[in-house]
Chain A
Amino acid sequence: MLFRLTGWFRSKPQLSPEQQSRLSAWQALPSAELKTPVVESRCVVVDVETTGLNLMQDRLISIGAVAVVNGKIALGDSFYVVLQQQAASDKGNILLHGISTSVQLEGEPPVEALLSFLEFLGKSPLVAFHVTFDETMIKRALRDHLGLNFKHPWTDLAYVMPGLNPPLARKYRALDHWIGHFNIRIDARHNALADALATAQLFQVAHAQAVRKKISDMAGLHDLEKNQRWVSAVS
């Protein structure tokens, strides 16, 4: 509770004029057109690593993101940043994401890291697996460090995949289940960039499946996701 209060009463973050103008430039970009087919547009698949799984308390350590441009993952159009921490996360957590204390302390200053992320993202729609987690962590960091109210279209593969594969919906919950099912190999699980790449490959599979059901754009995937949220809620 104490954390939330300090959050509320914390003064608006101080940005340099240069940082402020970068933020304004991003805000001025036209928003994404969700009805453009995936094969003619860019979207960004994102994954984050944090100090823990507590949405309110834990902090963002790194962001990994890859762009899917015209249906293909553009390896050169990818992004990874480690945010500089005041204090490193505890040992067990380090073992999980593999970002050592020194690296955590040496990361990019959060304002710079987050501005770079926004600039990489542009207004392309976002895709993740278990959006609530990634969205909350990114949203909170953007509010705390940039004073930005981040409202962005997201697609959640944790709902899209069951929606496209009803027979598997009961069996599979986690990202590992789905990437295992489609034989997507991941050599460095729990690294934000490697996870984002695996998630992006899963997105490519989802997209190919969706096309067979005449769904070809983000708006269609959002509808599918909405239905599946309802199915999951009542079943």
Chain B
Amino acid sequence: MSAIHPSELAFITKHAPFDRMELGHVMWMMERMNLGYYAEGEVIVSPEQGAVDRFLVIKQGVVHGEQSVAKASDADTWLELMEGECFPLGALLASRPVASVYRAGSDTFCYELPADAFRELIGLSAAFRDFCTRRIANLLEHSKQVIQAQYSQSSVEQQSLASPLSAIIRRKPVTCSPETSVRQVLETMREKRIGSMVAADEDGRPLGIMTLHDVLDRIAIPQIDLEQPVIEVMSTQLNTLPPQALAHEAALMMAKHGFRHVLVVENEKLVGLVSEKDLFALQRVGLRQIGSTIRHAATPQVLQQGAADIRRMAHNMMAQGVAPEQLTQFISAFNDLLTARIVELECKASGLTGTPLHEGLCWMALGSEGRFEQTLNTDQDNAIIFEVPAGMTADQVREKLLPVARRINETLALCGFPLCKGEIMASNPKWCLSLEEWKRTFNAWISGGSPESLLNASIFFDFRSLYGAEHLADDLRGWLARVASDNSRFLHMMAENALRNRPPLGMVRDFVVGKENKLDLKLNGITPFVDAARIFSLAAGVAQTNTIQRLRASAEKLNMHASEIDAWIDALLFIQVLRLRHHDEVSAQGAGDGELDNLIDPEKLNELDRRILKEAFRQARKLQARLALEYHL
């Protein structure tokens, strides 16, 4: 015999999802619940406890979810749960340990339903099931953290590249006044065992920085007077970021420009210093170092080494659970550096550098590289735009450029970017064109509309300049934005074409799978988003090539809701996470980058990932529905 007091029932039915459930189901649940007490500060659920064994609803009190396991008590609180809220839904559905520590923020009582009963209730109550599914759809963001945490379990201490710089700054920066003597500064640096010194004015505004590396070049070799003010030998070109900026932004800044330090500045005041060492203490190869190797490489062998470093770094980052958006940005940024250096070296080697032909050459990235969405198994897609110098014909220029382009393509292949099977490369005479020829070619595709034109448009219209005469690419982009947005027939056909690729959601089963019961995450998952974003951006005259940026930038012009856009982006990123994780798993089993595929077996996903993937595909359908609406399809 059991008795539940009406006031308990009244409390629980005030909160979602219990307010929408049948009373019988709520009673069924309550009869199986325990009421647990947790004193302030006590751990309620933690990763160490293994797979989550119960579903909790807070009766009273506050529960904090903390990200860092090692230093839970002083870690930043990132999740606060209040009365009536349920946790930890995701980990429970996936039968895995939680990623964060849940701790009582005050004396707390929780209703607790054992995991078995929780699963039974999902089968019993449609309202409860809906809640769990929808919550999880909203929790896409959260699931990314779960996956990241899962990946970084082996190195809990390691800072994620997604943490804000404010979390990475270890101590107050040591500063000096600009008038301090060089000798004094060097002594302080030795005394405090620090690698750098920042000069700041009385209000704490940074004026200059000196690092140990500068000592040789700026002090020792020129043999300067050690009594002169330090500011005179300091570097005053400062690289600053706000404390809210993420670690990966600092890393990218260091890598692109070759700095070792980034100043963290808030309201103009110096609040901290982040060094390369802080960011990649555990990584074997520093990002900046890779960047610098590539920038200064003089031979294909060194470049090959750089390419290998990029791959190793990408695998490391994948293993650390770096978010897909950042990871693909990293890969693209480094591949850009590498490609630009190869183009530069080959132009020099072939005597092109310094001639008008070199002045008027623009090397373009196409396809996924053009969209900044490269993963590890992308082959090369590139092209050239050139200016025709006075007194020459386009064919004459092409004749000069093609052999150089051929060498560039071959060197890229040596560095691990396989030659494009479809011959979409700058060494193909069809894709080494003058600006005028490009416009004619694009125009023919836009007004033609054959299947081949549409396919070409989907690759070439994601172009961006990677080396050389950027203004040519800008000119072409501006022209395309005008022409394409005016041509609704062409956009209509592009949309029709894009809609042929339906996300594989089944009526009976969760997913419609291809041969061998596999889903193609790239073709079925990512392509619908990429295609739709391209069409939206062409229609809106948006210059960006990156899918996420295209969606964001088109939203305003096409009157789409920000929340709608966010849901699409989250869905795209989730599919990208699964795809990268699949790549990582396959390479961990010893597959080379060339063997990486995008095929996964949905049956092998856990419950949570399967649900989220289904939701992500649903978002892809919504996006397509929007496309269909826009073009009356």
The answer to whether the Cβ of B467 comes within 8 Å of any Cβ in the partner chain is: no
Interface string of A14-25 (1 = CB under 8 A from B): 000000000000
A120 touches B109 (CB 8 A): no
Of A76, A79, A116, A191, which is within 8 A of B30 by CB? A76
A69 touches B34 (CB 8 A): yes
B107 touches A75 (CB 8 A): no
Nearest residue (CB) in B for A203 is: B37
The answer to whether the Cβ of A94 comes within 8 Å of any Cβ in the partner chain is: no
Cα–Cα distance between A33 and B290 once the two chains are bound (Å): 69
Q: How many residues of B contact A (CB 8 A)?
A: 27
Residues of A within 8 A of B471 (CB): none
Interface string of B50-73 (1 = CB under 8 A from A): 000000000011000000000000
A193 touches B1 (CB 8 A): no
B3 touches A205 (CB 8 A): no
The answer to whether the Cβ of A60 comes within 8 Å of any Cβ in the partner chain is: no
A185 touches B10 (CB 8 A): no
The answer to whether the Cβ of B523 comes within 8 Å of any Cβ in the partner chain is: no
B7 touches A78 (CB 8 A): no
Interface residues of A in 177-194 (CB under 8 A from B): 182-188, 191, 193-194
The answer to whether the Cβ of B284 comes within 8 Å of any Cβ in the partner chain is: no
Residues of A within 8 A of B111 (CB): 75
A116 touches B1 (CB 8 A): yes
Q: Tell me, rounded to whole Å, the shortest Cβ–Cβ distance linking B600 to chain A.
A: 41
The answer to whether the Cβ of A204 comes within 8 Å of any Cβ in the partner chain is: yes
B5 touches A77 (CB 8 A): no
Of B1, B6, B30, B109, which is within 8 A of A188 by CB? B6
The answer to whether the Cβ of A197 comes within 8 Å of any Cβ in the partner chain is: yes
Interface residues of A in 74-92 (CB under 8 A from B): 74-80
Interface residues of A in 54-85 (CB under 8 A from B): 64, 69, 71-80
B37 touches A75 (CB 8 A): no
Q: Tell me, rounded to whole Å, the shortest Cβ–Cβ distance linking A210 to chain B.
A: 12
Residues of B within 8 A of A205 (CB): 37, 39, 107
Of A77, A120, A208, which is within 8 A of B39 by CB? A208
Of A79, A194, A201, which is within 8 A of B1 by CB? A79
Residues of A within 8 A of B109 (CB): 184, 201, 204
Once A183-B60, A184-B60 are accepted as A-B contacts, the answer to whether A73 and B34 lie under 8 Å apart by CB is yes
Residues of B within 8 A of A188 (CB): 5-7
Which among A78, A120, A188, A200 has the highest number of chain B CB atoms within 10 Å?
Answer: A78
A120 touches B1 (CB 8 A): yes
Of A77, A116, A187, which is within 8 A of B11 by CB? A187
Residues of B within 8 A of A185 (CB): 60
Q: Tell me, rounded to whole Å, the shortest Cβ–Cβ distance linking A40 to chain B.
A: 15
Which among B5, B39, B42 has the highest number of chain A CB atoms within 10 Å?
Answer: B5
Cα–Cα distance between A71 and B39 once the two chains are bound (Å): 13
A194 touches B107 (CB 8 A): no
Cα–Cα distance between A182 and B555 once the two chains are bound (Å): 51
A194 touches B5 (CB 8 A): yes
The answer to whether the Cβ of B448 comes within 8 Å of any Cβ in the partner chain is: no
Residues of B within 8 A of A69 (CB): 34
Interface residues of B in 17-34 (CB under 8 A from A): 30-34
Of A64, A75, A182, which is within 8 A of B34 by CB? A75
Residues of A within 8 A of B349 (CB): none
A76 touches B2 (CB 8 A): yes
Interface residues of A in 94-126 (CB under 8 A from B): 116, 120
Of B2, B10, B61, B106, which is within 8 A of A75 by CB? B2
Of A71, A79, A184, which is within 8 A of B3 by CB? A79
Interface string of A131-155 (1 = CB under 8 A from B): 0000000000000000000000000
The answer to whether the Cβ of B191 comes within 8 Å of any Cβ in the partner chain is: no
Main secondary structure of the interface of B (DSSP, over half): mixed
Residues of B within 8 A of A120 (CB): 1
Cα–Cα distance between A194 and B35 once the two chains are bound (Å): 14
The answer to whether the Cβ of B387 comes within 8 Å of any Cβ in the partner chain is: no
Residues of B within 8 A of A183 (CB): 60-61, 106-107
B1 touches A64 (CB 8 A): no
Of B5, B31, B36, which is within 8 A of A193 by CB? B5
Residues of A within 8 A of B39 (CB): 205, 208
Nearest residue (CB) in B for A119 is: B1
Nearest residue (CB) in B for A80 is: B3
The answer to whether the Cβ of B8 comes within 8 Å of any Cβ in the partner chain is: yes
Interface string of B336-349 (1 = CB under 8 A from A): 00000000000000
B7 touches A75 (CB 8 A): no
Residues of B within 8 A of A197 (CB): 5, 8, 35
A194 touches B2 (CB 8 A): no
Of A64, A79, A200, which is within 8 A of B2 by CB? A79
Cα–Cα distance between A193 and B6 once the two chains are bound (Å): 10
B35 touches A72 (CB 8 A): yes
Residues of A within 8 A of B107 (CB): 182-183, 205
Which among A71, A73, A75, A77 has the highest number of chain B CB atoms within 10 Å?
Answer: A75
Residues of A within 8 A of B106 (CB): 183
Cα–Cα distance between A63 and B112 once the two chains are bound (Å): 25
Cα–Cα distance between A169 and B369 once the two chains are bound (Å): 72
Cα–Cα distance between A120 and B36 once the two chains are bound (Å): 21
Residues of A within 8 A of B32 (CB): 75-76
Residues of B within 8 A of A204 (CB): 35-37, 109
Q: Tell me, rounded to whole Å, the shortest Cβ–Cβ distance linking B464 to chain A.
A: 59
Cα–Cα distance between A64 and B6 once the two chains are bound (Å): 13
Residues of B within 8 A of A187 (CB): 7, 10-11
The answer to whether the Cβ of B392 comes within 8 Å of any Cβ in the partner chain is: no
Cα–Cα distance between A146 and B88 once the two chains are bound (Å): 48
Once A72-B112, A201-B109, A208-B39 are accepted as A-B contacts, the answer to whether A191 and B34 lie under 8 Å apart by CB is no
Residues of A within 8 A of B33 (CB): 75-76
A74 touches B37 (CB 8 A): no
Nearest residue (CB) in A for B54 is: A72
A75 touches B31 (CB 8 A): yes
Residues of A within 8 A of B5 (CB): 64, 80, 188, 191, 193-194, 197
Nearest residue (CB) in B for A117 is: B1
B2 touches A77 (CB 8 A): yes
Residues of B within 8 A of A77 (CB): 2
Q: A69-B34, A183-B60, A184-B109 are in contact. List 5 more A-B contacts (CB 8 A).
A: A71-B36, A72-B34, A75-B35, A182-B107, A191-B7
Q: Can you list 23 A-B contacts with CB-CB less than 8 angstroms, sorted by A residue number?
A: A64-B3, A72-B36, A75-B32, A75-B34, A76-B2, A76-B30, A76-B31, A76-B33, A77-B2, A78-B2, A80-B5, A182-B107, A184-B109, A186-B7, A187-B10, A187-B11, A188-B7, A191-B7, A200-B35, A201-B109, A204-B35, A205-B39, A208-B37
Residues of B participating in the A interface, judged by any CB pair closer than 8 Å: 1-8, 10-11, 30-37, 39, 42, 60-61, 106-107, 109, 111-112
Residues of A participating in the B interface, judged by any CB pair closer than 8 Å: 64, 69, 71-80, 116, 120, 182-188, 191, 193-194, 197, 200-201, 204-205, 207-208
